[in-house]
A and B are shown apart, each in its own frame.
Chain A
């Protein structure tokens, strides 16, 4: 057996060791990393996985224990550069890793620091850009790139140092599915060529790609093994505030009924194979057994949002002009939950900014309640008291010192004071699960990421809008945070009758929550209908660079192979229901 390339020996790490606020982030972690393996380290936020990651290249040193990279100890200052050029690390926020104003110069930064001679510098930059497939962009300015592209540049910058190990510290957390795919494709390519990959993540679908998974909880290794073994223990994972991919959940539910069905299915292909193994293949494709009736395009009741032929161009009449919306029709009825899906750059953000008058229609018609947004005399502030807009990563808008004050900002601007104000803030904070009395005096910056997200949401809820528009409400959250936000949003609809408009990349969420879905592509609203209707058109959606819920994809794949199943299955529960129906036939 060859020597492991990294050895972690019983490390502890305490932040602020001498203060009463000491945090024991790592409490005795030991494991080895073999050359060439693909290791995933998963855990909820706060489990210690990020702290652990930074020990692997000496960015943090253990307060106890040792970390060895090849034959070097990370505590040995003399070899720090050797260690960091052996173990390269890519971080979470793409923007915060790029230092130069031109892409190729940034890629050169790492090897420049290592004193690589110029001729080889040029070669390495070329090679690195090739692997991440960003050659075409080498002379661009980084801020013009998408998240996935920026992250690939960051990876190229690390690759140019020719590391043996690539650590991806939550590198896909802030990306859209397309960006995530791009990054994972690069990781797989590198792994195939012998680079050791260590992926820190909470996306279970990514963990499924690894050779080995380590599960962190409370500063220690809670589980370790091949993904299959780990995913089999779904209940234990749930205790650890994680979950398994939907397709695995489905497999496990079926396994509960039929012990011969495998319970360690990792992806759609395996599911389909398992099903084929169980039944005889049917040779003909049966007719589509989808829901009857016409796709209902628009709400039958009087819509409270009505958009027709909306157009929008940024920086009109300048050389930097760009068309965001070409012709969009969009309607929302009272009390509905409407989803908007579309690839990055399709115009979703532009669309929702019209809903509260941040943007005015350049051409076309936008009506919200009785407000006509083409009217120049429109009182935007009145509109914004009825339509609340929550941007992506709303934590960025927090500015007060204390939670109570920040949540109170909205109603304060509306003129509320004293008891009225307090009551409003209390209501909003309770609705998001930050009890007023305990949280109002907490310093905002001492809250966790998920708590800050909820505080920002409370800030908008405190305005008591009738319509709540959310742009990627679950972006960047770990499974627990994700579930929490969705549950609360559904409660808003049920308890308060709030109308919700949700932009999301997460197809499972859309399938679960929305009454209707609009698909935006290249500035046009090209599809709409119930989730069932929309996701039935899997092929079309895939062509558009979107996806469908994993379960839907599985059933679609089954149909392709001749099984007589409905294609419009959206959730695990429905799938199980379908299965029962089918197996009785």
Chain B
């Protein structure tokens, strides 16, 4: 019964070990660049900016030697939703976008109004989606979990001067990722256990959702309780190993920044500034 085999299907961190510039980047710089480009995407509303961004993003894919089909992994199933959303956006114009200026209406029927701004909204939304999808895929394919968590922690560690708990937060993430496969196995066992007692894991029909929820309780409640119980023991174990927060800790894994990393970061900063402040005509 494949419905029970969730545990084995979960792979956190789809790291692809390849030999590329992006893979070898110092994770701290890589993450910072990633954040900057995400900011660029989030705040770009013009056709021109998004065109540039799409080119840039796919340039990165090439740079990282990740096969295109991997990078576009989540895109295929999303296409129907993207198209549907675009349709909604084209047909029901929202003034919130692009300030509502210079919008030429070209279609109107009842509550439906389409203008150039709504088309732009639809196109930009779709573009942003593709850019972010590829960017995040790129990041997870080229960076190991350790690099991600440790990189984030070290990036944020200057803030610990202001009592910002950089290491603590990174540790939270590490613990979360460490336990996902363990909980997946546990969930599988609970499912099998309850099925053995005659639990019915599929209710059909409308408004049955209340019954469906109650039917989920034998799965969800033990899962939560087991997690909380594990937490109690893990707390003891961490205290026994003398964890006292990020101050004064040394690091087993260390990152070495190379000049290429500095250059990459500088380019990213300039790029972001450009995207944000250049008044694109479109």
Binding site for B on A (CB under 8 A): 54, 57, 59, 81, 84-85, 88-89, 91-93, 95-102, 104-105, 108-118, 121-122, 125, 141-143, 154, 157-158, 161, 314-315, 320, 353, 356-360, 380-381, 384-385, 388-391, 394, 396-399, 409-410, 413-414, 445, 459-460, 463
Asked if B193 is at the interface of the complex by the 8 Å CB criterion, the answer is yes
Q: Contacting A394 at CB < 8 Å: which of B193, B225, B251?
A: B193
CA distance A99 to B171 in the complex (A): 8
CA distance A466 to B193 in the complex (A): 18
Closest to A320 in B: B8
Q: Contacting B240 at CB < 8 Å: which of A59, A104, A142?
A: A59
Interface string of B233-259 (1 = CB under 8 A from A): 110111111111000111111100000
30 pairs, CB–CB < 8 Å, chain A vs chain B: A57-B240, A59-B239, A81-B244, A89-B240, A91-B236, A93-B233, A96-B237, A97-B233, A99-B238, A101-B13, A101-B178, A104-B252, A112-B252, A114-B242, A154-B237, A157-B241, A158-B241, A314-B5, A358-B192, A388-B196, A396-B186, A396-B226, A397-B218, A398-B222, A399-B225, A409-B197, A413-B198, A413-B200, A414-B198, A445-B225
CA distance A463 to B240 in the complex (A): 44
Residues of B within 8 A of A98 (CB): 178
Q: Contacting B233 at CB < 8 Å: which of A57, A91, A398, A399?
A: A91
Residues of A within 8 A of B193 (CB): 389, 391, 394, 396-397
| Contact, CB under 8 Å: B251 / A96 | no
| Contact, CB under 8 Å: B252 / A410 | no
Residues of A within 8 A of B239 (CB): 59, 84
CA distance A99 to B146 in the complex (A): 12
Q: Contacting B242 at CB < 8 Å: which of A97, A101, A113?
A: A113
Interchain residue pairs A-B with the least CB separation, the first 9: A108-B252, A413-B198, A96-B233, A397-B193, A97-B237, A399-B221, A110-B241, A389-B196, A143-B181
| Contact, CB under 8 Å: A100 / B222 | no
Interface string of B54-71 (1 = CB under 8 A from A): 000000000000000000
Residues of B within 8 A of A357 (CB): 1
Residues of B within 8 A of A116 (CB): 250
Residues of A within 8 A of B240 (CB): 57, 59, 84, 88-89, 91, 158
Asked if B175 is at the interface of the complex by the 8 Å CB criterion, the answer is yes
Residues of A within 8 A of B230 (CB): 93, 95-96
Say how far A97's CB is from chain B's closest CB, in angstroms. 4
Using known A-B contacts A54-B236, A59-B236, A102-B146, determine if residue A115 contacts B178 with beta carbons closer than 8 Å: no
Say how far B28's CB is from chain A's closest CB, in angstroms. 17
Say how far A211's CB is from chain B's closest CB, in angstroms. 24
Say how far A61's CB is from chain B's closest CB, in angstroms. 13
Residues of B within 8 A of A122 (CB): 252
Asked if B113 is at the interface of the complex by the 8 Å CB criterion, the answer is no
CA distance A414 to B197 in the complex (A): 9
Give 7 new A-B contacts, CB below 8 A, not counting A154-B237, A397-B197: A97-B237, A98-B178, A109-B241, A112-B251, A121-B252, A385-B198, A399-B218
CA distance A460 to B198 in the complex (A): 10
| Contact, CB under 8 Å: B198 / A105 | no
Closest to A315 in B: B8
Q: Contacting B248 at CB < 8 Å: which of A115, A154, A157?
A: A115
Asked if B190 is at the interface of the complex by the 8 Å CB criterion, the answer is yes
Q: Contacting A359 at CB < 8 Å: which of B1, B174, B217, B238?
A: B1
Residues of A within 8 A of B225 (CB): 399, 445
Residues of B within 8 A of A105 (CB): 146, 252-253
Residues of A within 8 A of B145 (CB): 101
CA distance A384 to B199 in the complex (A): 10
Asked if B4 is at the interface of the complex by the 8 Å CB criterion, the answer is yes
Q: Contacting A101 at CB < 8 Å: which of B5, B174, B248, B250?
A: B174
* Best-buried of A118, A141, A385, A399 by chain B (most CB within 10 Å): A399
Asked if B182 is at the interface of the complex by the 8 Å CB criterion, the answer is yes
Residues of A within 8 A of B181 (CB): 141, 143
Say how far A402's CB is from chain B's closest CB, in angstroms. 13
| Contact, CB under 8 Å: B199 / A413 | yes
| Contact, CB under 8 Å: B197 / A460 | yes
**Segment 169-207 of B: residues with Cβ below 8 Å from A:** 171, 174-175, 177-178, 181-182, 185-186, 189-190, 192-200
Q: Contacting B249 at CB < 8 Å: which of A93, A113, A157, A353?
A: A113
| Contact, CB under 8 Å: A85 / B242 | yes
Residues of A within 8 A of B5 (CB): 314-315
CA distance A381 to B217 in the complex (A): 19
Say how far A161's CB is from chain B's closest CB, in angstroms. 7
Residues of B within 8 A of A100 (CB): 146, 174, 178
* Best-buried of B196, B225, B244 by chain A (most CB within 10 Å): B196
Closest to A399 in B: B221
Closest to B9 in A: A315
Closest to B229 in A: A96
